[in-house]
């Protein structure tokens, strides 16, 4: 099995902390981007960040507990992310073609 977490630090536990910390930072960046940006491309990128930060934790846990299933789950998330990006990009493209602006809050004609 590939072991990507053999980081050259003194103890193995601090490598796990590092991965968890990276994941948390990625997740926070993704959430903030989701909330603060108005551009659909930026929002899509933020969603990718969210997915990948979750993936990171998944792979870490799989490695720690020795579950191969969880690693395959991480692969599924990657595929899902790709599919989501395709649909999201298509929507963003349609939005650009129909309107001059790139503000995601502007199209709200179908509101209740």
Partner 1 sequence: MNLLAWAFLFPLPGLLLTAFGRSRHAGVASLLGPIAIAIAGLIFMLSDHTPILVQIDGWLPVLPDSAFLLRLDGLAAVMLVVVGGVSACVYVYSLSYMAGDRGRRRFFCLLDFFVTVMTLLVLAGNLVVLLAGWAGVGLASFLLISFWREKSHTLGAGLQAIAANAIGDAALLLAIVMLPKGSSDLTLLQNGVPLVSGGASTLATLIVIAASAKSAQGILYFWLPSAMAGPTPVSALIHAATMVAAGVYLLVRTSPMLALAPEVLHALAWLGAITALLSGLASLSQQNYKRGLAYSTCSQLGYMFAAIGFGAPFAALFHLVTHAAFKALLFLCAGAVIHAAHGEEELPKLAGMRKQLPQICVLALIGSLALCGLPVLTAGAFSKDLIIEAGLSSSTLPASLLVLSVFLTGLYTGRLYFGVFGATTGDEPQHDLHAPDQLMVRSMWPLAAGAILLGWAGMPLARLLQNAPKDLAIHAVSMNGLLIGALGMTGFGAAFIWQRATKGRARLASFGIDWVPGAAAASRHLALAFAALHNGRLGLYLFTAVLGVALILLMAFGRMG
Q: Are 96 and 44 in contact (CB under 8 A)?
A: no
Dist CA 61 CA 54 (whole Å): 11
Residues 68-107 that bind partner 1 (CB under 8 A): 104-105, 107
| Binding map of partner 1 across residues 42-71, x = CB under 8 A, - = no contact | -x----------------------------
Is 13 a binder of partner 1 (CB under 8 A)?
no
How far apart CA 87 and CA 98 sit, in angstroms, is 17
Which among 8-16, 35-43, 53-61, 78-86 is the span making contact with partner 1, rule CB under 8 A? Answer: 35-43
Using the minimum distance from each CB to partner 1, give the nearer residue, 43 or 56: 43
Dihedral angle, C-alpha 16, 17, 18, 21, nearest 10 °: 130
CB within 8 A of 76, min separation 6: which ones? none
Residues lying near partner 1 in the complex (CB under 8 A): 31, 34-35, 38, 43, 104-105, 107-112
């Amino acid at each position: 099995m590939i072991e990507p977490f053999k980081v050259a630090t003194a103890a193995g536990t601090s490598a796990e902390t590092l991965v968890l910390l990276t994941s948390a930072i990625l997740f926070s960046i993704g959430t903030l981007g989701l909330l603060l940006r108005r551009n659909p491309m930026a929002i899509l990128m933020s969603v990718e960040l969210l997915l990948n930060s979750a993936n990171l934790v998944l792979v870490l846990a799989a490695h720690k507990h020795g579950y191969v299933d969880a690693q395959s789950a991480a692969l599924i998330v990657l595929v899902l992310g790709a599919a989501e990006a395709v649909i999201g990009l298509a929507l963003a493209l349609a939005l650009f073609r129909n309107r001059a602006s790139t503000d995601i809050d502007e199209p709200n004609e179908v509101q209740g």
